[in-house]
Structure 1
């Protein structure tokens, strides 16, 4: 069954040697100014044998940052930092897209250089705490974006996509999942707006569609992907109309001709069947918690075109080579997932057998 992982494929403008993708994972190891470092370049280059690397979430604007030490792609220093990363990955023979992630209300002012109140579709305080330098703190009530600010945020994504390509990325992925800003607009528990960006399903999907259209217009649809997570309750999301919302979203996105749709699948097979039917072009599937044989079965069955993996890629820089050889896998160390230096980041050993 694993043989289905190793067939070449094309995703938008990219010709890929196989179908095992590195999923985006926040690692909190950039500078306080959001600039990627040589250590980040080493980390990604170690994993260049993946068919495609999707980077950690990267803020498209200063207000897009929610966590400490996450990278940005909205100023010259950040672009130069990402150029080190993309050059290193390309030198190692890999392909890399930068994920654009605006965290919206999942943020704390202490984690940003500017210290401003978080922004969101509506001024609804999220449940939960945020890690900061001074420890866990409640997340504050965000400020609702004005209609003009929503439009300006669409332009932030457009500019960030252009900056990512200027930094050498092979494309971008728009993060529309996991309770961050795009997902906050989609969900009716976080979007109580009364303008054209809220209310009906048509209104709530508008921001996601406008962002995708702007990015595709800027860098080409063949370099643009988007990630969704239907039914995901992470970061205090509670969708009441998932079965109507996502078909409408996909119907609106499909004419854009995007390179791929990346779906985090949490177990509802009916939703997955609907997404597959509504998205006949490239689907990257992240089946949370599944072992690789089950993920490969999705490709063999036509349920997905590629599969992405997170923690396995984190702990196994040579995951592709290990899986091909049937070699044992390193065990991820959760204590080193977020923040720190090389430990648990670039020091996982390669297979030597």
Structure 2
């Protein structure tokens, strides 16, 4: 079932040629024409992982008529903490969501299974359960597994090997760009790699229900997770440079609000401006953004990739160190009972530049206001 086999690549080229001449069948934001042989009935969809991102993705998928039309079975969801599943059920109702008893039930009962999980180890653990369930059930019906987590690229190969023993089973890697606020508003950007026909079907499930655009990266399963890490390196690098610049300006007597207003003018409607606002206002609540543990995981993946490819990214190295500094300060606050948030957002990496400049790392209200002489 290798998604990079010559026959599948050839098929992808043929379909791409077909799509170029039949673009009128496509939905805006989807790089594929509609599947030519749709299912006789809507697929049973499953979703594992209702964290900061997965909750909104699953909710929007369950509620959107485009992806979940009348007559479709409720979205089958599973989360290690059942309370999140019950919260989603309460929000959208039993017509839209049903709670699965186990990961294995998702694998055996669903046609399309989405996963959004916290770490590589958890992803591999969950897909091992999927594989065992399919083997025990003697599965032979077509299934598509859609891995939306941020993982190291070679994890895709491990998952593909696990699922390859089950007949008619395809895997696509499908990480997403955007913070929880974008997931809430179905404004994610989706990148996809793997089996061509599976991508077509999944793209029309996700756009516009979950995201505003899907980007096709071909048949190699490692391409989508690699692009996701590349994108996150850009975001992380921007946060680091913003943190350094705002800190330098503050030491020079530039009011942080003035710096923020300038950044908003330079980068209007941009995540860069949003992160600058978090830094200026000390809005480091990890439950409302991207938690620093996730940032450290991604930075570690990026640094590993740069080492394997001999492609240094020193800004990411520095950002990684500064996130560690912020987390260490936060852990010390927990010990003393003075922490403001249960977890930190990765924008808290500003603690590194602040400490180096002789300022408080996480509380800018303690900074001495500097007035430079005329």
The TM tier, using the shorter chain, reads under 0.3
Greater RCO, CA 8 A, separation 6+: 1
The two structures have a TM-score, normalised by structure 1, of 0.26
Question: In proportion to residue count, which structure has more strand?
Answer: 1
The two structures have a TM-score, normalised by structure 2, of 0.25
Structure showing greater radius of gyration is 2
Question: In proportion to residue count, which structure has more helix?
Answer: 2
